[in-house]
Amino acid sequence: MRSFAMAAIVLIASPALAQEASKPATYSTELTGAEGTLGQVELADTPGGVILHLSIPAGALKPGMHAVHFHEKGDCSDAPAFKASGGHYNPTGHQHGILTANGMHAGDMPNFMVVEGAKTEVELFNTQLRFSEDPAPLMDADGSALIIHEGTDDYQSQPSGDAGTRVACAVISKK
């Protein structure tokens, strides 16, 4: 006689356990220029860093490359100089610049391009920052500011990349 081994196949019906990606905290703020609102900034706090999205209408900034950094204080009250925002956000005590051996500031980021007659949409990812986690929380006691400069960051001149005048400022702080 042939014996048949019976294989029991057990199907376990389990509820869909597909994990939803947790939604990042987001923050929205206005960019202020010399004469008022100049654009919008959207931030998202992710496990790996902060995503930054800039939306700037055509004509609001001069065409060409511009430096953008996070500066140390959430204060844009002194337009058009925007010096109240302090220097670059640098809680870890590094030198300025992506090209500097002992760089870089937590607030350092690549330059972006403004094209004549076109709206500017820029997305940047900064892996050194978080909204409120150490070592570089944007929303610390005095907040921080996003600053756009008239010129280009050379990624090595101290203390701020020779990026020229500040032309726009956005406050980032705990609400």
Residues forming the site for Cu ion (CB under 5 A): 69, 147
Kindly tell me which of 147 and 168 has the beta carbon lying closer to Cu ion: 147
Kindly tell me which of 69 and 73 has the beta carbon lying closer to Cu ion: 69
Beta-bridge partner residues of 88: 71
Among positive and negative, which fits the CA dihedral 123, 93, 30, 149? negative
For residue 12, the minimal CB distance to Cu ion (Å) is 57
The letter for the amino acid at 118 is A
- Cβ within 8 Å of residue 96, ≥6 positions away: 88, 90, 103, 104, 105, 108, 156, 157, 158, 159, 160, 161
Which residue's CB atom is positioned nearest to Cu ion? Answer: 69
The letter for the amino acid at 117 is G
Kindly tell me which of 13 and 129 has the beta carbon lying closer to Cu ion: 129
Kindly tell me which of 140 and 153 has the beta carbon lying closer to Cu ion: 153
For residue 72, the minimal CB distance to Cu ion (Å) is 10
The letter for the amino acid at 163 is A
For residue 163, the minimal CB distance to Cu ion (Å) is 6
For residue 67, the minimal CB distance to Cu ion (Å) is 6
